[in-house]
Amino acid sequence: MDCIQLEHITKTFGDVIANDDVSFVIEKGEVLAILGENGSGKTTLLNVLGGIYRPDHGKVLINGEEATILSPKDAYSYGIGMVHQHYQLVEAFTAIENVVLGLSRKELLAIYDRFEEGQEQHGFRWCRLRDSAKHMQTMCERYGFALNPKKTVSDMSVAEKQTLEIVKVLFRGVDTLILDEPTAVLTPQEAAHLFDVIRNMKRDGKTIILITHKLNEVKEISDRVVIMRKGKYIQTIPTAEASEKSLAEAMVGESLNLDIPRSDIPTTGERLEVRGLSVRNREGRAVLSDVSFTLYGSEILGIAGVSGSGQRELLEAIAGLCRDRDGDIIFHNPKKDKPVTFFHKNIKQIRALAAEGKLYFEGGKPCDLRHFSNKEIADLVNQEKILFYEDEIVDFATKTPLEIRNLGAKLSFVPEDRLGMGLVGDMDLIDNVLLRSYRKGRGKLLHKEKSEAIAQEIVTDLEVATPSLSTPVRKLSGGNIQKVLVGREIMSHPKILMVAYPVRGLDINASYTIYHLIDEQKKAGTAIMYVGEDLDAMLGLTDRILVLCDGKVTGIVDSRAVTKEQIGLMMSGKTYSGEANA
Amino acid sequence: MSYVVSFLSLAIKFATVFLFGATGEIVNQKSGHLNMGTPGIMYLGALGGIVGERIYLSSIPADAPLNPLLIVFIPVVFAIIFGALGGAIFSFFTVTLRCNQNVTGLTLTTLGVGIACYFIGSIDTSRMAEAGLLMQHAFSGYEAAGWFGEIFLSQSWFTYLGVVIAILAAVILRYTRVGLNLRAVGENASAADQAGVNVSAYRYVATIIGGAISGIGGAFYELDNVKGMFNVADGIDAFGWLALCIVIFSLWRPTIAIFASFFFACLSVAPTFFAPYLAGAGYVRYLLMMVPYVATIIVLIVTSVVSKKDHAPASLGVPYFREDR
Amino acid sequence: MSQKRSFPLYVTKRIGLAKWKYWLIRVGGILLAFLIAGIVCTMLKPGSFLTFYSEMFRGCFDFSDITTVIDLLVTFSILLLIALTLTPAFKMKFWNIGAEGQILIGALAAAGVAKFAPSEWPNILILVFALFAAQVASAIWCLIPGLFRAYFHTNETLFTLMMNYIAAVLASMMISVWIPNGSQKFGTLTQGIFPTILGHSGTLVIIFTLVIFVGMYFYINHGKSGFEVAVIGESVDTARYAGINVSHVTLRVMTVSGLLFGAIGFFIVCGIHQSFSPTIVAGKGFTGVLIAWLGHFNPFEIALFAFLSAVMECGTTTAATAVNISASRFTAICTGAFFFIIIACEFFSRYQVHIRVKEKGEVEEA
């Protein structure tokens, strides 16, 4: 019988057991889904099969014989190829250069033989790039790929890169293909196309192993499902016999409430007005062009788009992190009828505001501070006797992140790259909380007491699992890292909260904790921008969705009145007429 | 006119040292190794060259005529061995032991300079001046070709070897499968590994070959030193560092490195060449001596200000450990 | 499929190594390094193995002649100061390998002031001026690459390196201008010098070093500026998001480096040597780079490695002289070997080597 058997695979990283005695069988010609939450060890396990990791114990049997897979090259020799979630492509090379990379002349000729079956061979055989390109095109036509062999990878879209990865693996003549979360970065349409390709490959006799945590994909494409939980093998079910609910419960190990919270509450006035925002990247290429929208308090605005459509740049531009930008980013600080505080204004600024007629005394009298001494003003401010007439208007477009913070604008940003941008991996919880406030306090030395209290509060309130406050955050699990980051940003009581891919890499329970936290903030009046890749979750959580394609807005729609397919079309550039009016 | 001719001729000779260093370093860097041990490796190569020549000179009778090919060939072989050894040490530490490349490189330079200077100082230099004179010119009768001959045909075998190696390196890097794999290792080691390229092997081999090439440069400088200071190896480290800059200047392309080396050689030769004509103004000589270094800095600044695209291999200086992902 | 032969050794990452095991590996490495220095010496001069160690000890800890010990401590002080000064820059991933030149230029300025200050000035005033001049000169030398790195991302490694050579040429040039007789000898300073205490003119340097060490400890570990530096070193994006202006911090760190390097140059000229030459820093700038790195930017570990390097340097110099081999070259060989072994130890503390035995069982080894 043709099959791959995994027997008692165990792989540990230090004290973390990624795979614990996992055994199951992969049949030839099937589409096998490996279903598990993030962190359940499915990628690690298949990396063992793909030659990336070496198991501590256990073995792989291929057609009943023990196989030694010490490198990806060994895996290829057994006909196993893997497409990783993070594409393994050389950006500076063309498609065909990536495809032939690492192949020896002998291997190339063997591949050519496959393509030139039945043709007579005469004399010296060349293995030029153009010969390989010719064969690659033949193969692309067979499976329905559209790929130019001479295109440089850095110029490719995400979908093209994925296609190239699959082509690269197929070119080597593998018959078992491992796809790790292949739809994570695709539009619904692109995902559908990928599934067609998978069906084509299956018809061609290939075995496909699909690593995923998305239940609908499992149902749609797979023949059998292997379920993993916390590094352990749980069970194998024929897909036809399972429902999404039963799969979810098997995956998580407990019954679940999969309802995403969305409080239906009225919005509370304009918070942020973006007009004609354009951003160029370091090479001077436009990554956002002419983006305009308004964000309200107590509202969640979803930002949808294929990854790299400008979501990141949009948030970074608002946070003041992109320098090369045009357009207005107007912040409405909800100060109307609120007292002036020393939190973000000093006496001099208060005098200036009073002179402009922007302040009034409690009771309604216009505030004229010319005859008051500094001490008198300080007393009045501390007693909250001086109030604003109107909301304060601030233009972010000209400000640096520090200036924005000093204005008391209370803008919080949970970036997608948690350890690369939000937190410092090698620093502990206290220092990471300190990062937002270390400038406070007198003198040149740091004052950690307050941060320590806040860190403790985050750990208690959000149930962060950490050995201590002085553990480097890198050592925490993805979910706990995210809790620390979101917790730190929420603790500053933001007026605007921007979150980018907040549940990426989190298990289901952690994801729902985060969704609830975001909804709580909305109830507290915060204006929220939410960038995500899971459209189902976005449709459930947000009030409106702004769709970006190539840095342009292709529509702003009401989440309650739009379908996933419509969003998908907009993500690929089709504008949608049903504009939402919030 | 004759000044210009002899200046250019001298500059080309000098450029040879840079060219070997730069070509070796390009091969290194294409594999993702930023080898700051190049100055040390060039010193080791110099030691190899001297050792090789001593072995040859000691193997023939004291009054026997010197074979003009062997006095080049044997030192080159030894320089290659010594330079390759330096490269092997570097890759053992950075690939197998996964040490930081900067630290390993600097330590290798310290060690290389120490070892080379110690032993070079204790080597018997008899007949070396004779050998040095003999290896000055690869072809006799170059004078017949006028100024062209004086400039281009009067050089030693080393110079022609350097150009050939540079062109060969360029062709291999650009047009062969090995070159493709090597570039992939330097650009994205993880992707190369996935595609079945043995990253460690490529880094080892590239660094060893690069070291060997750089080593020849050191040997040439030491052996060609006809003024007779064979037991002093001074200033090779400066050439090694300048070679690193030439790599940046030539955008990691050995063919451009040929011209870049020549350019830097002109700057380096100028102070010694013009010194006799500048008698009286003592400090001008020093200002001229600064020129190659200042020029390097200007090159660094200009490349950083002008070029938006980074031509360096994308994973230069990044170690690779498969399970580190 | 044919059965593949696998390489018998393989490596995995070590996580959570006990502190004492880590130090055991390091101490083992240090002992090995000293052993190898002895072996090298024996290879160069057969039969000198034991002499080497006794001479090495005598060169460092000869308490009958207190100046030997002070010599060691002075060498230690200078190495420690250089490594500490480099630490903030390294921590923010600014690879300044131009310490050599940055110190030299400070030394040059100090030497100039000390030599040409009016002789009626009190010594202390000359010293203050020399220090000031040295700090200004070094700060400029540090800020030039700092500015270009901060605003144009110019490769600072090669930039600072080239500045070393320019500084060396500049030093030779100034000597030839100051001493027009062409001898290129600066001569001994008669004014602007540190007082001789305990028979050694560098004794005060040791005391200053202690003060600077305490200051740098607080700057690196407890200061706001040190915190910013640490964040930038971990991730520039995180720093920018936290509102840290990376360019400004770069300039600030390079200014601080310059002020300290200036002081070091001043110590060397006015305190230790009371003279000047273009090679007066003698490669300590590069040794300092390695010490800072191997000390993991931790002031106490840096102090340990600075001390060991000083022992290596003073000891091997005495030993080489005793067995009659070229001291400076021999010291370079020993220092190189020493650092190679220490960096190799890093590997064994971070990774684990396993031996795959033919049977299914596996044997582990540290």
CA–CA distance, A191 with A181 (Å, rounded to integer): 11
Per CB-CB distance under 8 Å, the chain A contacts of C218 are: 445
Confirm if A416 and A401 have CB atoms less than 8 A apart.
Answer: no
Per CB-CB distance under 8 Å, the chain B contacts of C148 are: 300-301, 304
| C277 CA to centre of own chain | 19
B226: pLDDT strictly greater than 60: no
C293 contacts B98? CB cut-off 8 A: no
Query: How many domains, chain C?
Result: 1
Band of residue B232 on the pLDDT scale cut at 50, 70, 90: low
Average pLDDT over residues C263-282: 91
This prediction has a pTM of 0.84
C94: pLDDT strictly greater than 50: yes
Angle between helical axes of C19-44 and C327-350 (0-180°, round to 10)? 150
Confirm if C342 and B100 have CB atoms less than 8 A apart.
Answer: no
Per CB-CB distance under 8 Å, the chain A contacts of C298 are: none
Give the position of tokens 């190659």.
Answer: B292
Average pLDDT over residues B118-135: 81
Confirm if B232 and B121 have CB atoms less than 8 A apart.
Answer: yes
B234-290 tens-digit pLDDT: 678 888 888 988 898 888 999 999 999 999 898 888 877 777 776 655 677 788 888
Looking at per-residue pLDDT, the higher value among A223 and A367 belongs to A223
Band of residue B225 on the pLDDT scale cut at 50, 70, 90: low
Per CB-CB distance under 8 Å, the chain B contacts of C317 are: none
Pair of tokens at residue A111: 């591949």
User: Subunits touching B (CB < 8 Å, at least 3 pairs)?
Assistant: A, C
Q: Compute chain B's Rg from CA coordinates.
A: 20
B107 contacts C336? CB cut-off 8 A: yes
Average pLDDT over residues A84-90: 86
Domain ranges of chain A: 3-252
**In C107-243, beta strands by DSSP E:** none
- Residue A321's SS3 state is coil
As a dihedral over the C-alpha atoms of residue A261, residue A265, residue A271, residue A272, rounded to 10 degrees, the angle is 50
Looking at per-residue pLDDT, the higher value among B211 and B64 belongs to B211
pLDDT of residue C4: 43
CA distances from A459 to A463, A469, C331 (A): 5, 8, 54
User: Can you give B97-149 as a three-state secondary structure string?
Assistant: CCCCHHHHHHHHHHHHHHHHHHHHCCCCCCCHHHHHHHCCCCCCCHHHHHHHH
Residues 6+ apart with CB under 8 A from C164: C98, C100, C101, C104, C285
CA–CA distance, B89 with B101 (Å, rounded to integer): 12
A357-413 tens-digit pLDDT: 777 777 777 777 777 888 877 887 777 777 777 777 777 777 777 777 766 657 888
CA–CA distance, A18 with A36 (Å, rounded to integer): 13
Average pLDDT over residues A277-296: 85
A509: pLDDT strictly greater than 80: no
Looking at per-residue pLDDT, the higher value among A130 and C171 belongs to C171
As a dihedral over the C-alpha atoms of residue C129, residue C133, residue C138, residue C143, rounded to 10 degrees, the angle is 120
Closest Cβ–Cβ partner in B181, B308, B325 for A101: B181
Average pLDDT over residues B196-207: 92
Region for B317 from its dihedrals, namely left if φ exceeds 0, alpha if ψ lies in -120 to 50, beta otherwise: left
Per CB-CB distance under 8 Å, the chain C contacts of A444 are: 223-225
Which uninterrupted H or E stretch holds A210?
strand A207-212
Per CB-CB distance under 8 Å, the chain A contacts of B181 are: 101-102
Closest Cβ–Cβ partner in C4, C223, C235 for A444: C223
pLDDT of residue B309: 65
pLDDT of residue B206: 95
Average pLDDT over residues B13-20: 92
Give the position of tokens 């400008």.
Answer: A310
Tell me the pairing of strands A31-36 and A224-229: parallel
Give the position of tokens 């790039």.
Answer: A129
- Residue C236's SS3 state is helix
Average pLDDT over residues A213-231: 87
Q: What is the domain extent for residue C274?
A: 65-324
Average pLDDT over residues A248-268: 77
Range A3-252 has CATH code 3.40.50.300: yes
Average pLDDT over residues C313-320: 88
Residue C275 pairs with which residues in a beta bridge? C188
A578: pLDDT strictly greater than 70: no
The candidate with the shortest Cα–Cα distance to A418, out of A338, A522, A488, A496, is A488
Closest-CA residue of chain B to A285: B308
pLDDT of residue B85: 95
A582: pLDDT strictly greater than 50: no
Confirm if C235 and A419 have CB atoms less than 8 A apart.
Answer: yes
C146: pLDDT strictly greater than 90: yes
Q: Maximum distance among all alpha carbons in chain C? A: 92
Band of residue C167 on the pLDDT scale cut at 50, 70, 90: very high
pLDDT of residue B147: 79
Band of residue C2 on the pLDDT scale cut at 50, 70, 90: very low
Length of chain B: 325
Whether C31 is covered by a domain: the verdict is: no
Average pLDDT over residues B91-104: 88
Average pLDDT over residues C296-307: 92
Q: What is the mean pLDDT of chain B?
A: 86
Query: 29-88 in B: which are within 8 Å (CB) of C?
Result: 36
pLDDT of residue C363: 41
CA–CA distance, C254 with C150 (Å, rounded to integer): 10
B118 contacts C343? CB cut-off 8 A: no
- Residue A395's SS3 state is strand
A28: pLDDT strictly greater than 70: yes
Average pLDDT over residues B184-200: 89
Minimum distance, in Å, between the CA of residue C363 and any CA atom of chain A: 12
Minimum distance, in Å, between the CA of residue A495 and any CA atom of chain B: 37
Rounded (5°) CA angle C138-C155-C251? 45
A308-332 tens-digit pLDDT: 788 888 888 888 877 777 888 888 8
Minimum distance, in Å, between the CA of residue B106 and any CA atom of chain A: 27
Per CB-CB distance under 8 Å, the chain C contacts of A400 are: 243, 245
Per CB-CB distance under 8 Å, the chain B contacts of C347 are: 97-99
Whether C165 is covered by a domain: the verdict is: yes
Phi, psi of A85 (to 5 degrees): -65, -40
pLDDT of residue B42: 93
Looking at per-residue pLDDT, the higher value among A552 and B284 belongs to A552
C317-351 tens-digit pLDDT: 888 888 888 777 888 888 888 888 888 888 887 77
User: Can you give chain B as a three-state secondary structure string?
Assistant: CHHHHHHHHHHHHHHHHHHHHHHHHHHHHHCCCCCCCHHHHHHHHHHHHHHHHHHHHHHCCCCCCCCCCHHHHHHHHHHHHHHHHHHHHHHHHHHHCCCCHHHHHHHHHHHHHHHHHHHHCCCCCCCHHHHHHHCCCCCCCHHHHHHHHHHHHCCCHHHHHHHHHHHHHHHHHHHCHHHHHHHHHHHCHHHHHHCCCCHHHHHHHHHHHHHHHHHHHHHHHHHCCCCCCCCCCCCHHHHHHHHHHHHHHCCCCHHHHHHHHHHHHHHHHHHHHHHHHHCCCHHHHHHHHHHHHHHHHHHHHHHHHHCCCCCCCCCCCCCCCHHHC
Q: Kindly state whether B172 is in contact with chain C, defined as any CB-CB distance less than 8 angstroms.
A: no
Band of residue C232 on the pLDDT scale cut at 50, 70, 90: very high
pLDDT of residue B208: 96
Phi, psi of A274 (to 5 degrees): -110, 125
**Architecture of domain B2-324 in CATH?**
Orthogonal Bundle (1.10)
C76: pLDDT strictly greater than 50: yes
pLDDT of residue A340: 76
Count CB atoms within 10 A of the CB of residue A243: 10
Band of residue C256 on the pLDDT scale cut at 50, 70, 90: very high
Picking from A90, A96, A107, A153 by the largest number of B CB atoms within 10 A of its own CB, the best residue to mutate is A90
Phi, psi of B140 (to 5 degrees): -90, 155
pLDDT of residue C364: 40
Looking at per-residue pLDDT, the higher value among B216 and C351 belongs to B216
pLDDT of residue A258: 64
Whether C32 is covered by a domain: the verdict is: no
A337: pLDDT strictly greater than 80: no
pLDDT of residue C112: 93
Tell me the torsion sign for CA atoms B297, B300, B303, B308: negative
Tell me the torsion sign for CA atoms A266, A270, A275, A281: negative
User: Can you give B156-175 as a three-state secondary structure string?
Assistant: CHHHHHHHHHHHHHHHHHHH
Residue A326's identity, in one-letter code, is: D
C54-74 tens-digit pLDDT: 888 888 888 888 888 898 999
Which uninterrupted H or E stretch holds A82?
strand A80-83
Confirm if C261 and C138 have CB atoms less than 8 A apart.
Answer: yes
Count CB atoms within 10 A of the CB of residue B93: 24
Q: Which of A8-12, A409-413, C221-225, C258-262 has the lowest mean pLDDT?
A: A409-413
Band of residue B227 on the pLDDT scale cut at 50, 70, 90: low
pLDDT of residue A580: 45
Confirm if A332 and A525 have CB atoms less than 8 A apart.
Answer: no
Closest Cβ–Cβ partner in A319, A420, A438 for C235: A420
pLDDT of residue C362: 41
Query: What is this model's ipTM?
Result: 0.85
Most confident segment among B1-15, B209-223, C173-187: B209-223
Confirm if C42 and C48 have CB atoms less than 8 A apart.
Answer: yes
Looking at per-residue pLDDT, the higher value among C39 and A391 belongs to C39
Confirm if C3 and A68 have CB atoms less than 8 A apart.
Answer: yes
Q: What is the mean pLDDT of chain C?
A: 86
Closest Cβ–Cβ partner in A90, A100, A105 for B187: A90
Count CB atoms within 10 A of the CB of residue A556: 21
- Cβ-based burial of A193 (10 A; exposed 0-12, middle 13-18, buried ≥19): middle
Q: What is the mean pLDDT of chain A?
A: 83
pLDDT of residue C107: 95
Closest-CA residue of chain A to B188: A90
Pair of tokens at residue B191: 């992707």
